A and B are shown apart, each in its own frame.
Chain A
Amino acid sequence: MLPLPELESRFGQALSGNPVGELSICSNGLTGAQRLQVYRNNMQSALMGALRSVYPTTERLVGEEFFAATAHAYAKANPSHSGNIQDYGGTFPRFIHSFEPAAALPYLAEVAAVEWLRLETAQAPGHTPMDLAALAAVPRESQPGLHFRRQPAVRIFSSRFPVLTIWEYCQSVAPKTQLDIDLPGECVLFARPALDVYMRRLTAGEYTLLHRLAQDKTFEAACLEALEVEPGFDVEQTFAALVREEILTGFDH
């Protein structure tokens, strides 16, 4: 009799398409292989469905058939490691990046990355806005040394393609104009002010500021770097906007 651990291990291998030893499945009119195929189909359609629901814009860009082939190749090489199917597919953008048939669409992996970041933002913990009274109570000379915390849902992404422009273009039902993908690259901010994901473009300075703050640099050090990449960077105005948008939600000394 096949011990349970061995049976499950072999069954799992068989579902993933690897040759296995005997599984002692009753034939009862159909072969074991035909019966296993029902489960393989179910598994594949679950994984395909998960990828389709996270990456609708990627699918829109390449069409159903190409997307299905890409997703199929990904699923074959990347088993799920979570009992929650919503966790599946985080490495799909990286896979697309090195997927030979998609090489002619270099921006595709980056649009996919936008879609995964949207999911992360959508599911992140909530936040409370910055305590402005506490901030006002910090002596002026101590302010440059503060470490600011970002809203937990915040993500930032720097792309060499106009990735948000492409994403927005794909959301329109019937785009009227042709999209020029030779536009400059974009930095994108993802946040969740309330229940829905919010995205906007970041200037190079804003991106650098948020990036450095996430690395726990002081406000002063982060601003200096922002000024280096964007000479006209307006510290005061940018900071006020980031607090108002609830992108920055707290601080430590």
Chain B
Amino acid sequence: MDSRPPMAWLEVHSENYFAEGGRAVTELDQVRQDYPLSLHGVGLSLGSTDPLNREHLAKLKAAVERFSPMLVSEHLCWVSAGNSYFHDLLPLPYTDEALEHVVARIAEVQDHLGRQILIENVSSYLEFEHSAIPEWEFLRETAARSGCGILLDVNNIHVNAVNHGFDARHYIDSIPAREVQEIHLAGHAEKRVEGVELLIDTHDRPVKDAVWELYAHALQALGPKPTLIEWDSELPELPVLLAEAIKADRLLVHSHAAAS
């Protein structure tokens, strides 16, 4: 960060800045003076039927007050049950029951924080038999009913399209452009289990060609959106990361030009 690369904004995991003092939060205070910030949470467990974790929410609120982020986001999933946390983004069944539950929780969080949050679609490796609503409708309805915005993860859409056999472009075309305030891109791993291909969201490698193509489609369908490349393990040298960001920027600029 000392070289102050020319980035439009930065995103960090909210939980990594829950500490009350120390190096991490102090450095983020400084970074915040030079860049707009997005706080991206993984632990609020919005889809869990456990009571909302008030302590976690209070820490998130403290971080929001300290860093004044331009965006605050969480995931459309659950991560805890019976007060045990599994530290993975677990899939909901797409039912009216789950939709009502998650909409109420998001509304509660937004009320508490006094601001809108964005909700991100997650990668999943299984579906429930009683899911009655397609994922894209579930996401769209979550935003429409709770008033939250959407953080559309294009890699997760591709991963799920392959894992569960649906049309990724149709998914994107079903999302109202005005709700989408941010896009995520990331790398994923291709695994073969018993001869069946399963894509796993890993954030540890470059974005795949199929996802770049889908991103170009998303920009066409949704218009230009702030885009972040998630790469949070097996980090390469900064130039490699910047090259990925520049690639996304080119597509963005291109879509800007096409739109005007």
* Chain A positions near chain B (C-beta within 8 angstroms): 1-5, 7-9, 11-12, 15-16, 23-26, 28-30, 32, 34-36, 38-39, 42-43, 46-47, 50, 79-86, 88, 122-126, 152-153, 192, 195-196
Contacts and interface: CB of A to CB of B under 8 A. Distances in A.
A38 B196 contact: no
B198 A83 contact: no
Contacts of B97: 3-4
Interface in B73-88: 78-88
Contacts of A30: 193-194, 196, 198
Contact of B88 (A9, A39, A86): A39
Contact of B22 (A50, A83, A122): A122
Contacts of B130: 1-2, 24
B81 A38 contact: no
Residue from B44, B97, B129 with most neighbouring chain A CB atoms (10 Å) = B129
Interface in B1-33: 15-16, 18-24, 26
A47 B88 CA distance: 10
B216 interface: no
29 contacts: A4-B49, A11-B81, A24-B130, A25-B128, A28-B127, A29-B194, A32-B126, A35-B125, A35-B126, A38-B126, A42-B87, A50-B87, A79-B85, A80-B87, A81-B84, A82-B56, A83-B42, A83-B43, A83-B44, A83-B45, A84-B18, A84-B56, A85-B85, A122-B22, A122-B23, A123-B20, A153-B21, A195-B22, A196-B23
A195 B23 contact: yes
B149 interface: no
A79 B82 CA distance: 11
Interface string B70-109: 0000000011111111111010110101100100000000
B200 interface: yes
B28 to A, nearest CB: 12
Given A1-B95, A26-B126, A82 B82 contact: no
A1 B97 CA distance: 11
A16 B84 contact: yes
B3 to A, nearest CB: 20
A162 to B, nearest CB: 27
Given A12-B82, A81-B83, A84-B59, A24 B20 contact: no
A8 B49 contact: yes
B87 A39 contact: no
Nearest to A37: B193
A123 B49 contact: no
B256 interface: no
Nearest to A49: B233
Contacts of A25: 126-129
Interface string B184-202: 0000000001101010100
Given A12-B80, A38-B125, A46-B87, 14 more contacts: A4-B49, A4-B98, A8-B81, A24-B128, A29-B194, A50-B87, A81-B84, A83-B44, A85-B43, A123-B21, A124-B21, A125-B21, A195-B22, A196-B23
Contacts of A153: 21-22
Contacts of B44: 83
B174 interface: no
A12 B86 contact: yes
* Most B-side CB within 10 Å, residue of A2, A32, A82, A86: A82
A10 B233 CA distance: 30
A9 B81 contact: yes
A126 B80 CA distance: 31
B164 interface: yes
Contact of B101 (A4, A11, A39): A4
B48 interface: yes
B164 to A, nearest CB: 7
Contacts of A82: 43, 56, 85
A46 B49 CA distance: 22
Nearest to B163: A28
B78 A8 contact: yes
Contacts of A83: 15, 42-45, 53, 56, 79-80, 85
A196 B95 CA distance: 49
Nearest to B101: A4
Contacts of A43: 86-88
Interface in B128-150: 128-130
Nearest 7 CB-CB pairings of A with B = A83-B43, A123-B19, A12-B81, A35-B126, A46-B87, A79-B84, A125-B20
Contacts of B194: 29-30, 34
